[in-house]
Structures are given as structure tokens and as C-alpha cells.
Amino acid sequence: MAQMTMIEAIKDAMRVELERDENVLLFGEDVGHVGGVFRATEGLQKQFGEDRVFDTPLAESGIGGLALGLGIQGFRPIAEIQFIGFIFEVMDSIAAQASRMRYRSGGKYNSPITFRTPFGGGVHAPELHTDSLEGLMMQTPGIKVVVPSNPYDAKGLLISAIRDNDPVFFMEHLKLYRSFRGEVPEGEYTVPIGKANVVREGSDVTIITYGAMVHTSLKAAEELEKQGVQAEVIDLRTLMPLDIETIVESVKKTNRAIVVQEAQKTSGAAAEIMAQINEKAILHLEAPVIRVAAPDTVVAFGQIEKEWLPNEKKVIAGVNQVINF
């Protein structure tokens, strides 16, 4: 097996699918000739030609509409939105159009679109480049939301997303792009959308998280072990649909849970997860579920980015809070 960074794994997934299915198209701003501002698509235009991998004019709404129209024509578009903050410009296509194409056409048409976008803090990107907007997407019926935390999952989940006949919002954490390598099988394989992964087993508390916070939480879990606390860590991998079974199963075992998200605290993924735990497992809890999240402000993209983002220390404090309840 090859050792790949997450961005290499993402590129590999697109290569595999472009090769396998001629209906797969890949486009966005700067994705063709130079292969993307992060080089996630480098070499793909050369390999598959300008007909299938191409640069678009600078217009996110145009990119979204193009993807939607191509989907109606039986193509399988991978549309890159260069940075997550620009999805507001294409929100109509995603949230008001692609999400309801199946419903509005009585199933005649669908939107087999993968919207890929980098997001996530800790890399000193400018404002409106790193926001965690998964909560917005989760609140949009008809959109699946996927957030991989490692190269293996990224490739397998992206292949699943491309093959999915419904729109998938695929979020690629900037900090994970090149920070480490992992084993990635050659060729095709899938990681199913909607299935969480228990990345660390433990009996005292469940840490439910996704994206870069998986790594933060794993480090916190190691520290906690030194204190004698066995934390179970769940990498959700997919936020919509949410694998609530895996969460509930774990909570029934540990009786305590915290949710860790990089996003601002209010009304996001964590809020939804807490609500569902409340609905499905409240009688198994020894303490209220809490969330470790960023403050409800704009992203602090500069000087205090590090302080603003959730970190290991805050996760440990969160765990201690539910343990000592």
C-alpha cells in the first residue's frame, strides 16, 4: 500500500473515478491548468483532457448551476469551491436547488454532485477561508455532509461521494491536507457514507468528533489515560446522515459524552448530536452531554486563531467536567 497525504488521497480518489466513469467531470476555479490552489487536482487535466477537467470563470453561482445542469444530463460533476467562505455565493445552487432536484422532478432528475471544499483553521489563512460551515449544510434537507479525518477515509469517502446519486458536501480540512501520511490502498475501494468509526475504545467517556478534531481528541485521550480515564473516541466521518447508532451504543457503554467541534458553539453539528443523544439515550447518561467548540464569533483568523480554536487542553477540561459531574 502506498503512503499518502490526505490531499494525495483525495486526488487519487478523483483519478480513480475519472478513469472508471466517463460521466465524471471535475471543474472549478483554477482546478484545471495548475491543478488547484492546493494542487488537489494537479495532473488530472493532463491525464483526462480539458473536456473533463476544466477551469471555470470566477463565479461560484455559475459553478453550482453548471453542476446542477450537468447532473440533469446524466453527468457526475465534482465541483470544487476554492475555499469554504465562498459557498455563500453558491448557496442557492446547493441548498435551494441541488438538494431538491430529486423531489421537484418526481425522481426524474437528481443531483449526483460532489461539492468539494477546503475549510478548517490553524493554517493562518485569511478571513472567510477556514470557517466550519457544516452546520449550515446539515440543516439543509437533501444534502449529505462528509468530513474525513485521514487519507484512507478521504479517498474511500470521496469515491462514495462521487458515486452517490444525491448531492454531497465534502469538506477537506486544510490542516490535514499535508500534515501526515497514512496507508492508502491503490485503485478503488469505498468507505460508506453514514458510518462512523470508533478510532479509540474506552469505557469512561465518549468523545464524539470529526475532521481535524479527531486528532486533537485522540491526543487528549492519551493524556486522559495517564489520569486513569479511558476515553472512547468516535470519528463521525459523515455528519449527514449521522451514525447515531454508533454514538448511542458507545454512550450506553460509557454513560458520559462530550462533542468536540471546531465550529462555533451554537446550532451546529454538536447541538444536533446532543439533541439526538438526549432523544435516544438520556437514561444512560450520568452527566449532561457538553460540547467543546469555538466561541460564537467570526473566525479569529490571525493572531489569536490558536486560542480561539478548540484544543487538547479544552477537550481534557470538557472530559473532566462530565467525569466530575
Minimum Å distance from CB 177 to ligand TPP? 17
Which residues fall within 8 angstroms of residue 31, CB to CB, at 6 or more apart? Answer: 40, 41, 44, 45, 53, 54, 55, 80
124 or 203, CB closer to another protein? 124
User: Which of 43, 46, 47, 58 touches ligand TPP (CB under 6 A)?
Assistant: 58
31 or 146, CB closer to another protein? 31
User: Which of 8, 17, 29, 131 touches ligand TPP (CB under 6 A)?
Assistant: 29
Is 129 labeled as catalytic in the residue annotation? yes
Please give the full DSSP string across 198-265, using - where no structure is assigned.
EEE--SSEEEEE-TTHHHHHHHHHHHHHHTT--EEEEE-SEEETT-HHHHHHHHHHHS-EEEEEEEES
Choose among 217, 284, 275: nearest CA to 249: 284
Residue 86 engages ligand TPP in binding (rule: CB under 6 A) = yes
| Total residues interacting with ligand TPP, rule: CB under 6 A | 6
- 3-class DSSP state of 184: strand
Residue 54 engages ligand TPP in binding (rule: CB under 6 A) = no
79 or 234, CB closer to another protein? 79
Catalytic pick among 124, 129, 173, 215? 129
Binding site for another protein (CB under 8 A): 29-30, 33-34, 37, 55, 57-59, 61-62, 85-86, 88-89, 124-129, 265-266, 295-298, 300-305, 307-308, 317
Q: Report the number of secondary-structure helices (H) and strands (E) in the chain.
A: 12, 14
Which residues fall within 8 angstroms of residue 315, CB to CB, at 6 or more apart? Answer: 207, 213, 216, 217, 220, 258, 260, 292
User: Which of 41, 45, 56, 82 touches ligand TPP (CB under 6 A)?
Assistant: 82
62 or 182, CB closer to ligand TPP? 62
Minimum Å distance from CB 23 to another protein? 23
Choose among 297, 305, 244, 245: nearest CA to 269: 244
Minimum Å distance from CB 60 to ligand TPP? 6
Q: Is 124 left (phi over 0), alpha (psi -120 to 50) or beta?
A: left
Which residues fall within 8 angstroms of residue 2, CB to CB, at 6 or more apart? Answer: 183, 184, 185, 186
| Integer Cα distance of 247 and 235 in angstroms | 10
Of 81-89, 109-117, 204-212, 288-296, the window that binds ligand TPP (rule: CB under 6 A) is: 81-89
H/E element, 196:
none
Residue closest to ligand TPP when measured from CB atoms: 86
29 or 134, CB closer to ligand TPP? 29
Minimum Å distance from CB 169 to ligand TPP? 17
Query: Any idea which residues carry the catalytic annotation?
Result: 129
Q: Which residues bind ligand TPP (CB under 6 A)?
A: 29, 58, 60, 82, 86, 89
